[in-house]
Structure 1
Amino acid sequence: MATPMPSEADLYKIFSAADRDKSGHISADELQKALSNGTWEPFNLRLVKMMIGMFDRDGNQTIDYNEFKQLWKFVNDWLNCFRQYDADRSGSIGKHELNHALNSFGYRLSDATYNLFMKKFGTPDGQSIIFDNFLLLCISLQGATASFAAFDVERKGEIKISYEQFLNSVVPLIA
C-alpha cells in the first residue's frame, strides 16, 4: 500500500516543525531529525547530506520549503518502493528481497556483491537493511553506475581506466 503525500498545509507544518531555528531553511541536522527510518533512530546523516546536495538548488547547503517538497516526494517515492520489496512486511529487507529489488532495477550482481551490500548497508548482524540505508545504497549504486557508464563507452560492462581516473570517479561517491 502506497503512502500518500501529505496535503500542502500538512507538508508546510512538517517543514516548519523541522525548521527549528525558523530561518526558512532546513539544515542537515534539522532534516535528519525530521525524517524517520522506521526504527526510532535518526536518518543516516550521510544520506541526509547527499539528499540536501541533490535538492539544494541555490548551493547554500540547506533546503528551503520548495526544495523540501521535492525532497519529501523523492523520499516518499523511495519509501513506497522499499515497501514493495519488503515482502514479509518486517520494516527491513533481507538479502533475498534486496536481490529482487535490484534485479528489477536492472542490476545483475553476484552473491558476493549482495553479501558486501548487506555488510556495508545492513544492520549490525548483516541480516537486513532498513529504509534509509536502502535509499543510501540505491543512490550510491546509481552514482557508481553513472561513473562506470562514463568510461564504458562500448557498453560492454567492462572498462579500462587509470588509477587516477578511478579515484576521480569514486571519491565523490564516498566523501
Structure 2
Amino acid sequence: MMLSALAAGGLGTASAVQGQTLSQSNYRIPRHLMPRQIEVDESFVPGTIYAYNEQRMLYWITEPGRAIRYAIAIGAEGREFRGTAHVARKAEWPSWRPTATMVRLEPAVYGPYRSGLPGGHPRNPLGARALYLYRGGRDTLYRIHGTPQPWTLGRSFSSGCLRLANEHIEDLYDRVPVGTPVVVV
C-alpha cells in the first residue's frame, strides 16, 4: 500500500483530526496514534474504508490521493476479520452481546455478559459508536467500533472487531454513510 505522510518531516507534523484528549478517561493517546490527514496512492477509491490488520491502521479515503488515518486495535491472532464487506447499519451508543463463540472460547471473560450490556455501560466494548459490517446481505458479526480501552490502540487485543478510540469513531461515524465499502487485509 502506498501511504505517505503529508509532511516530509514525518507524521508528527501532519494535521491532527478531532480528539486531542479523551473525554472518558485521563489516558492520552500517543501523538503517533492520533488521526491524521495523509496522502495515499490515487488508486484507492474515495468513499471506501481500508483497514490493514498488520499495520493496525484504518484509512477513510476522502478524495483521490487523500485519506484520514486512524489507529485501531484488532482481533487477537486468528480472530481478525479479512476481506470485503460494507457498512449496513450504524448505531450510537450501541448495546452489546458477546457471540456464542466468544463465550465458548473465553467463558471467564465473556460468560458474565452473555445477556448483554446496554449502550453507554462502562464495560460495553462497542463504546460510543459502531459500524456494522455485512457481506452478501448477512451480518459478519464484525464491527468497526469505539472502545472504552484506548490504551489498546495499535495492538492485537479484541475478539476480532476493529476498535478506535471513542472520539475517533465519533469522527469516522459522522463521515461514513451506510453502504460504505470496507476492505480489510
| TM-score normalised by structure 2 residue count | 0.28
Which has the greater radius of gyration? Answer: 1
Counting strand residues as a fraction of each chain, which structure ranks higher? Answer: 2
Larger RCO (alpha carbons 8 Å, 6+ apart):
2
